[in-house]
Amino acid sequence: MTTWTQVYDPLRALVSAAPEYLISALVAGIPLYVLFYMLAVRRTPGHKAALLGTSTAMLLAIFVWGMPANLAVSSTLMGAAFGIFPIVWIVITAVWVYNMTVESGEFEIIKESLASLTDDRRLQAIFIAFAFGSFIEGTAGFGTPVAITAAMLAGLGFNPMYAAGICLIANTAPVAFGAIGIPIVVAGQVTGLDINHISAVVGRQLPFLSVIVPLWLCVTMCGFKRSMEVLPAIIVAGVCFAGSQFVFSNFHGPYLPDIMSAIITILGMVLLLRVWKPKNVWHFPDEKVVPRTGGCKYSGKEVLRAWAPYLILAVMVFIWGLDAFKSIPAIKGTTFMFEWPGLHNAVIKTAPIVAKDAPLAAKYTVNLLLAAGTAILITGLISSFVMPRYGLGKAIACLLRTCHQLRYPVLTIATILGLAYIMNFSGMSSTLGLAFTRTGFLFPFFAPIIGWIGVFLTGSDTSSNALFAGLQRTTAEALGIDPHLTVAANSSGGVTGKMISPQSISVATAATNLIGQEGNLFRFTLWHSVAMTLVVCVITFLQAYWFSWMLP
């Protein structure tokens, strides 16, 4: 088999006076500039922006980085396949479950039950987008929480753009420990560092961000003055989540911080609302508010039945994350892995990305029963029998309509993952990372930005850690910095890139029926992402030199 070795500074010879990697990195960023321009400036639909960005990356990979055309095409197709399964599989099934609750009329009961607890949009956002979304992130991850919570908020009557944007912003604090801690586990596998040590460092970075996310959500929705009206709820939610995140990440490991933080936050909010209510109930200015009279008009049995799909979902994704479940022979037997034709071990990574030349594996896994989307599918099938006057026939018809509804987001997600893979296999992503390593003393400040770029490219903190965690360790050791700090910063910085990742934006627009408005949503979340990233950058920089006593 013919192999090709990656080149990380292909333009060095053209401008030898320029700093190493600088010109090549600027050119490697062109696909990202294209995406930014098409989404933020032109407000182009996501699938069109993704197609243009991916096409640009393929041309650069072939004609500048020297990647053989067959490898460029193959890596792009593999990324698209990964986008379809498991990512699209999660999105379709999650939106399907929501659509069924709407068609059956059960979502009206969910709305009423939430309104009886609190009709205030600020508190509903904290409950659903922040707390419940964190639970789903902790158990399933990979786009599931945004798909579920954005659809729920839109169904409750939130302005669709705010429903999508708020859920994307909320889905920052839990991401590093998502899917039962998979991002941290991958970071440990890639670097050889102790995962509990990485978990502890992340647990001494992210809580500073987590504690202010509820306030951030409220200020985004209604401004600072109105947010102060629900300050007790903001404090309870922020402290419960951040405190739990610190404790479990430092004294248990990377597996439970999200799940336990979410449960403790929900319990804290429920207990608070038993003794405190905001003086003024806030709704969006463009809402038609129907005055409430009394408590919930539905019985406890009806409310439990309406919430059943989401309760079943929580149980299912929790079971799916258990090692005991994953190890069942019949379950493991439905997992198939094969080497991607013409790509596996055909690309060689070289120094300084790795100490010695190493082939880049290209294995595609189809885990039919272990996929989070399958857990949601089973949830939907069970729920179809729980919903009154619904049944399997209507559920299948709803699934087909959902697939048609999501045709453009499917194309967007598949194309964006193709972009991520071509940039990874061509070495363009490594070129970007290497350019940041030349910052020397300032590297700890830029370490989270590398993670942020990785998540922007791939839509996944796990993938970002797989891509850049090794680079973070190597650079830190060369500079005499604790490698656990920079590897953790890759994950902590990555969480703030989730909200602007085209993949995540496509999930959110699909869930809120905003298909074609990906550009507007990108503009909505962009500056929140930048501001949060800078917070993580400052924390990491201080911990590297002056606040090193904060590290374990």
pLDDT in tens, the chain (552 residues): 789 999 999 998 777 777 788 899 899 989 888 987 887 788 787 788 889 999 999 999 999 999 999 999 999 999 899 888 877 887 788 778 888 988 898 878 877 777 677 778 899 999 889 988 888 787 666 667 888 888 888 888 888 899 999 999 998 888 888 766 778 877 786 677 888 899 999 999 999 999 999 999 999 998 999 999 999 999 999 999 999 999 988 987 787 788 889 889 989 998 998 888 888 888 888 776 655 555 677 888 888 998 888 888 878 877 877 778 888 888 888 888 889 999 999 999 998 878 789 998 898 888 888 887 888 899 999 999 999 889 899 999 999 998 888 888 788 878 877 887 898 899 988 888 788 778 888 989 989 998 898 888 777 787 777 767 777 877 787 778 888 999 999 999 989 998 988 878 888 888 888 888 888 898 899 999 999 999 999 999 999 998 888 888
Give the chain's radius of gyration (CA, Å): 23
Domain ranges of the chain: 4-278+297-550
Asked if 338 contacts 362 with a C-beta cutoff of 8 angstroms, the reply is: no
Distance CA 328, CA 91 (A): 26
First vs last Cα of the chain: how many Å apart?
Answer: 47
pTM of the model: 0.77
Asked if 482 contacts 507 with a C-beta cutoff of 8 angstroms, the reply is: no
Cβ-based burial of 294 (10 A; exposed 0-12, middle 13-18, buried ≥19): exposed
Distance CA 39, CA 257 (A): 34
Strands 347-349 and 4-5: parallel
Asked if 31 contacts 57 with a C-beta cutoff of 8 angstroms, the reply is: yes
Please state, as a whole number, how many other Cβ atoms lie within 10 Å of the Cβ of residue 367. Answer: 17
Distance CA 501, CA 36 (A): 10
Q: DSSP state, 33? A: H
Cβ-based burial of 192 (10 A; exposed 0-12, middle 13-18, buried ≥19): exposed
